[in-house]
Amino acid sequence: MSWRPRSTRVCIAAVLFTLVQVVMRGQTQPTANARRLVVLDRKGHLITTPVDPALYSQPAFSPDGLRLAVVKTDPQTHNQDLWIIDLACHRSMRLTSNPSPETLPAWSPDGRFIAFVSSRPPAGGGVYRVAADGSTGEELLYRHTGFGGINSLEWSTDGQSLYFSDLINISGALYRIAVDGDGQRTEIMRPPFFGSRVSPDGQLIAYQSSRSGRNEIYVQPFPVSGTVPTPASERRVSREGGVGMVSWRNDGHELFYLAPDRWVMAVDVTASPILTVTEPRKLFRAADTIRAPGSGGPGAVAAVSPDGQRFAVAIPSQPALQRLAVLDRNGRTIRSVGPPDLYSQPSLSPDEKRVAFVHTDPSSGAYDIRVLDLARQRTAAITSDTAVDASPIWSPDGLYVAFVSTRGDYTGIYRKARTGRGSAELLYQHTAGTPSVVLTDWSVDGRFMSFHAGDILYVLPLDGDRRPIEVVRNEFSSVGGRFSPDGRYLAYLSDESGRYEVYVRPLTALASDDARPTQVSTQGALGMIFWHRDGRELGYLAADGNVTVVNIVQDGALRLGRPRPLFPARGVQGGPYGVTGNPAQLRNVNGAADHFVFIVPSSPTR
């Protein structure tokens, strides 16, 4: 049986108890950055505020629309657990309690179970299920491997399967797993798309794609396994862009999404005899602080009830502004730089005079590349477009910034002058319909770049036809390549041991698999790999959050010292993979390995 109040009397008692608690708390301030969880009607009018403000995200309506599953973060422990909220009683129940963060709650069609994503040792990341009334423990349904991340988790209408997307560097593939199966996934659909949602009758699939040059919402017949969405089979739903909250009404005839101007949009959809969609119509405008709720993922803050009549929204406060901090080798702050803003992926120029970074526009949610002059405290815009621009890397002479951008059907590596003047030059165009690119390094001699796409590690020669060379391609995940200063070696992350560690392999062995890589880290690694300019030290961000270094002696063979921590890192978010956090990509350390650039909260006064 699904979890419900035992009687109206219980609901009344619960509400009275809540009111007493509110009175007793008096004027206690809510947690910083708390979100107000509200339920709105189709006109955006408030129906109820079921709970006090807290660190809520990722709400999901139960099939009967009477409850919400939601992720709630504890401000003291930072634990991210699942909670169930009864909308009639305004009563909350914690469903999980684990140091590993829970994400993507998804209700089974009968309302008895919640599926979610979490990392639980020893299995690691995977899909779990738990009874919605808390009567059973957590059961692992699928163990996830690889460097991507699970997104858009949802149940099939018959309750026998779960669908999810694997976020492989911005794009992803759609997979199905059997709830009571062998834990293996079956590929349904290839990229480029993300934020997918299968219609309740299983006939259609809606998703976001940037094939037009900006994010739009599309719908197409549910595909045959392994197919790629094509213009011939799909219909574009949005007209002026779509940034998230893709949801179906429970009869499959109405589709909802969020437009870039924050209007919640609705479209009527007919699957047969031919696929047709109506013109989008506006329902209501969401709060200004909602940038891109998404249809599943750590940033999702909105959900639509199965009947399409109500919207649950965790309204965030204004995003907390940040600054860039330059730290010494002991982790002490030398100085804070840059105006208060939203920063990610800081990349320090070779002469240490500038920092390139990904800038997030708090109004539109757009990701663009900026360069900050540390002496003048002035910022130059490298990009200013609707595409997601990421992975800034400096040229060895410091005159250019290279970056990755998905424009139309293709993801490419571009470079542009550090001043922001002139046009961006396309250096490499990745094959359409394959995992997108994360750029990680530019060799000291300027001849090569390194990037990963999916779980494959590449080196890109910048001479000749610029055909990328596969450095590591096997059953494991290999990402985050970094060239040694003399160009003889490549350091990178691989999970061949069962967790991500730092390895080094000779670049002379690119054409063969004869040379075995040398393992550098011993207790796990997240990325931020850096070489000392003399090649005698290699550093990285360890799994425990410490910036760690290892001494290296090159005398025909690599001889390694023991890893030793320097200081705990700050401001690195997103785990091993993230569109904006992405520690595997970070290039935030100088050549002497004694200056480090991190993102820190902006102080209210200076």
Judging by beta carbons within 10 Å of its beta carbon (0-12, 13-18, 19+), is residue 222 exposed, middle or buried?
Answer: middle
Q: Which residues pair with 127 in a beta bridge?
A: 117, 142
Is residue 192 reached through a cis peptide bond, with omega within 30 degrees of 0 on the bond before it? yes
User: What is the DSSP secondary-structure string of 378-425?
Assistant: EEEES--SSS-EEEEEE-TTSSEEEEEEEETTEEEEEEEETT--SPPE
Region 538-547: mean pLDDT is 91
Q: In this predicted structure, what is the pLDDT of residue 329?
A: 96
Report the relative pairing of strands 437-442 and 263-270 from DSSP bridges: unpaired
Evaluate whether residue 243 is within a structural domain: no
> Domain range for residue 308?
8-230+287-315
Q: In this predicted structure, what is the pLDDT of residue 172?
A: 58
CB 585 within 8 A of CB 592: no
And the tokens for 531?
A: 């070489």
Q: In this predicted structure, what is the pLDDT of residue 124?
A: 62
User: CB within 8 A of 292, min separation 6: which ones?
Assistant: 243, 244, 258, 299, 365
Report the relative pairing of strands 302-304 and 263-270 from DSSP bridges: unpaired
φ/ψ (deg, to 5) at 555? -135, 55
For tokens 């858009």, name the residue.
152
Evaluate whether residue 428 is within a structural domain: yes
Q: Is the pLDDT of residue 318 over 70?
A: no
Of 280-284, 326-330, 359-363, 413-417, the poorest mean pLDDT is in 359-363
Of the two residues 553 and 408, the one the predictor is more confident about is 553
* Count of beta carbons in the 10 Å neighbourhood of residue 333: 12
- Residues 292, 348, single domain; the answer is no
- Residues 195, 304, single domain; the answer is yes
- Residues 144, 91, single domain; the answer is yes
* Count of beta carbons in the 10 Å neighbourhood of residue 25: 10
φ/ψ (deg, to 5) at 19? -65, -40
Question: Which amino acid, one-letter code, is at 212?
Answer: S
CB 403 within 8 A of CB 392: yes
And the tokens for 522?
A: 């011993």
Q: pTM value?
A: 0.68
Evaluate whether residue 542 is within a structural domain: yes
CB 405 within 8 A of CB 415: no
- Residues 308, 326, single domain; the answer is no
Three-class SS state of 508: helix
Evaluate whether residue 253 is within a structural domain: no
Last residue of a domain, one of 275, 299, 315: 315
467-498 per-position pLDDT tens digit: 999 888 877 888 899 999 999 999 999 988 87
And the tokens for 560?
A: 């390694």
Of 223-232, 239-248, 325-334, 351-360, the poorest mean pLDDT is in 223-232
141-165 per-position pLDDT tens digit: 998 865 557 888 999 999 999 998 8
φ/ψ (deg, to 5) at 545? 90, 0
- Residues 303, 348, single domain; the answer is no
CB 52 within 8 A of CB 127: no
- Residues 310, 334, single domain; the answer is no
Q: Is the pLDDT of residue 354 over 80?
A: yes
Q: In this predicted structure, what is the pLDDT of residue 79?
A: 81
Q: State how far the Cα of 83 lies from the Cα of 50, in Å rounded to an integer.
A: 13
Q: What is the band of 507 on the pLDDT scale with cuts at 50, 70, 90?
A: confident
For tokens 């130059």, name the residue.
380
* Count of beta carbons in the 10 Å neighbourhood of residue 43: 7
And the tokens for 166?
A: 């694997």
Q: In this predicted structure, what is the pLDDT of residue 14?
A: 40
Three-class SS state of 321: coil
CB 263 within 8 A of CB 286: yes
Evaluate whether residue 271 is within a structural domain: no
Evaluate whether residue 262 is within a structural domain: no
The torsion angle over the Cα atoms of residues 407, 401, 436 and 60, rounded to 10 degrees, is -80
Task: Pick the closest to residue 551 from 565, 538, 569 (CA basis).
Answer: 538
CATH code for the domain of 154: 2.120.10.30
- Proportion of the chain above pLDDT 90, given as a percent: 49
Q: In this predicted structure, what is the pLDDT of residue 174?
A: 83
- Residues 309, 347, single domain; the answer is no
Q: Is the pLDDT of residue 300 over 80?
A: no
- Residues 142, 204, single domain; the answer is yes
CB 344 within 8 A of CB 358: yes
Structural domain total, the chain:
2
Of the two residues 539 and 222, the one the predictor is more confident about is 539
And the tokens for 186?
A: 């079956």
Q: What is the band of 342 on the pLDDT scale with cuts at 50, 70, 90?
A: confident
Q: State how far the Cα of 464 lies from the Cα of 479, in Å rounded to an integer.
A: 24
- Residues 117, 145, single domain; the answer is yes
Q: Is the pLDDT of residue 446 over 70?
A: yes
Rg (C-alpha) for the chain, rounded Å, is 24
- Residues 526, 482, single domain; the answer is yes
CA distances from 35 to 42, 60, 345, 479 (A): 21, 15, 26, 35
- Residues 91, 128, single domain; the answer is yes
Length of the chain: 606
Q: Is the pLDDT of residue 294 over 80?
A: no
Region 308-312: mean pLDDT is 95
Report the relative pairing of strands 425-429 and 410-417 from DSSP bridges: antiparallel
Evaluate whether residue 263 is within a structural domain: no
Q: Is the pLDDT of residue 458 over 90?
A: yes
CB 303 within 8 A of CB 293: no
For tokens 């990037």, name the residue.
451
And the tokens for 175?
A: 């997979």
Q: In this predicted structure, what is the pLDDT of residue 293?
A: 42
Q: What is the band of 76 on the pLDDT scale with cuts at 50, 70, 90?
A: confident
And the tokens for 117?
A: 């994503």
Of the two residues 407 and 573, the one the predictor is more confident about is 407
Evaluate whether residue 437 is within a structural domain: yes
Last residue of a domain, one of 272, 299, 315: 315
Q: Is the pLDDT of residue 295 over 70?
A: no
Region 192-213: mean pLDDT is 81
Q: Is the pLDDT of residue 513 over 70?
A: no
- Residues 296, 342, single domain; the answer is no
Q: In this predicted structure, what is the pLDDT of residue 516?
A: 78
Q: State how far the Cα of 109 lies from the Cα of 132, in Å rounded to an integer.
A: 12
